[in-house]
Homo-oligomer: A and B are copies of this chain.
C-alpha cells in the first residue's frame, strides 16, 4: 500500500471528465493537463495533442532503435453518471471503503491506466530508465467511440510505430485470477425515432383514431427478438463465427458460472439465447439492447396524452466476423420493414466498432501471459469479453500491430453504472503488472 499512489488516483478521479457531455469540455482539458504534468514529472516527453474533439495525452521515454517499442493505450474520459440518484456518494468525490475506491472512472479506465503510469514511475525511480521504448497514448473519447483517434493515428503513424500495444481496460474473471483476453465484441449504435401527430394529442379526444408513437416504437422493439431471446433480424447472423468447442470447454472450467453472473447482476433469473451459458452469451454471441427509451409524459402524476414522438437508443454487440456496416444495414431494413405507414420513422446511426480476435499463442501473447502469472501467482484464464474496444481494430489496420488485453476490472466493479469502483488490491497489482510486462516484452 502506497499512500502517494492512492493520493494520485483520487486526484485523477476528481475530474468529471465525461466526454459525451458538452458542458464538461473544460473538465476534459483540465484532466488531460493534470495527466500531462504527472508524466512530465516522471521525465517523459509529453504532448497534449489537440484533435477535432478532446485532446490526446501522448508521452514517451527516450527511444533507442535497438529496443522493442510497446504502446500503452488508455483513456481519461468516463461515462455519464446518471442515474445520479443511485450513487451512494457523489461520483466525482472518490470514497475509499474496505480497500475499494468508489468513483466514476475508478475501474474504467482511470484506475487501470494510472496503474501503468505509476508502474513506469516506479521502474524509472528504481532503474533510472524503462527496459524498452514506451509510447503512452491516453485519449479522451473512448466512451463516445473514439471518433478522432483513427485520424490521429494516421497523421502520426511514423512516431507511433510500435511492435505491440497493451491495454488494461478489460476484466478479470474473478479476484486474484490473472486474465488474458483474446477477443472482444464489436458494436453498432442506432437511435430510432418514431413520430406521428403534429403535436401531443389528448388521448381521450383522439385516442383510437391515430397510431401512438410510443406503442409503435414498443412494437418495433418487440420485433427484434423471438420469445427465447434470439435476434430475429433478417441477415443479422450471416457472418457470425460459431463458438469453438475448445473455448466452451475452457470456459466451463473457469471460476465463474451462471449462478455467479446472476449474483453479480442481481436479476431474479438469467435470460438469453437458448443453448448457451451466460458467459458464452456475453462473450461470443451478438446482442440487440435498448440502452434508453423515452416518450410522452414521464413526470409525477398522470397526463393523458398521445405523444407526438418517442425514441429509443439501441446498441448491438457484434462477434467475429460480423461487420458494423452490414449489421447497420440489416437493422435499418428490419425497422423500415416493420414500421407501419401511420407514423414517421427516423433512424440515426451512431458510433460503431468491429469485433476483435487475436491469437493468444503469439510470442507477445505468451510474454503477456508470463507477466500476468508473475504478478498474480495463480492459474491464468484465457477469455473473450462482451464489451467493445473498437480501437484495437483501428490499431491493427493503421499501425499493423496486435493488442494485448490485460484487464484488471472485477465483474462487480460496476463499470458504466452507479457506484463504479476499483479494489486497491487490483490497482497495486496493476502497478506490478506494468513492470513485469515491460520486462517480459523487452526481454
* Complex contact B272–A289 (CB within 8 A): no
Assembly of this chain: how many copies?
Answer: 2
Chain A stretch 7-66: residues in CB contact (< 8 A) with chain B: 20-22
* Complex contact B198–A266 (CB within 8 A): yes
B residues less than 8 Å from A189 (CB atoms): 302, 304
B residues less than 8 Å from A196 (CB atoms): 265, 267-268
Stretch at the interface among A125-133, A159-167, A220-228: A220-228
Q: Quick check: is A388 within 8 A (CB to CB) of the other chain?
A: yes
Q: Quick check: is A298 within 8 A (CB to CB) of the other chain?
A: yes
Chain A stretch 224-250: residues in CB contact (< 8 A) with chain B: 224-225, 229
Q: State A65–B301 Cα separation when bound (angstroms).
A: 43
CB distance from A273 to the nearest CB of B (A): 7
Consensus secondary structure, chain A interface? loop
* Complex contact A302–B215 (CB within 8 A): no
Stretch at the interface among A67-75, A148-156, A200-208, A324-332: A200-208
* Complex contact A305–B207 (CB within 8 A): no
* Complex contact B185–A204 (CB within 8 A): yes
Q: Quick check: is A197 within 8 A (CB to CB) of the other chain?
A: yes
CB distance from A195 to the nearest CB of B (A): 9
Which residue of B145, B202, B278 is within 8 Å of A302 (Cβ)? Answer: B145
B residues less than 8 Å from A375 (CB atoms): none
Of the listed residues A202, A225, A287, the one surrounded by the most CB atoms of chain B closer than 10 A to its CB is: A202
Q: State A414–B222 Cα separation when bound (angstroms).
A: 31
Q: Output the nearest chain B residue to A203 by Cβ-Cβ distance.
A: B289
Stretch at the interface among A111-119, A335-343, A392-400, A432-440: A335-343
Q: State A265–B198 Cα separation when bound (angstroms).
A: 6
* Complex contact B214–A290 (CB within 8 A): yes
A-B pairs with lowest CB-CB distance, top 9: A198-B266, A204-B387, A20-B301, A292-B296, A271-B342, A222-B222, A218-B221, A208-B281, A211-B271
Add 17 more A-B contacts to A80-B299, A207-B317, A208-B281 (CB < 8 A): A189-B302, A200-B418, A201-B265, A201-B416, A203-B287, A205-B415, A206-B386, A207-B315, A210-B265, A210-B271, A211-B229, A215-B289, A269-B342, A291-B302, A293-B293, A302-B351, A304-B315
14 contacts between A and B (CB under 8 A): A80-B299, A86-B200, A199-B266, A201-B265, A203-B317, A204-B388, A205-B386, A210-B267, A214-B292, A269-B342, A292-B298, A292-B303, A293-B310, A305-B417
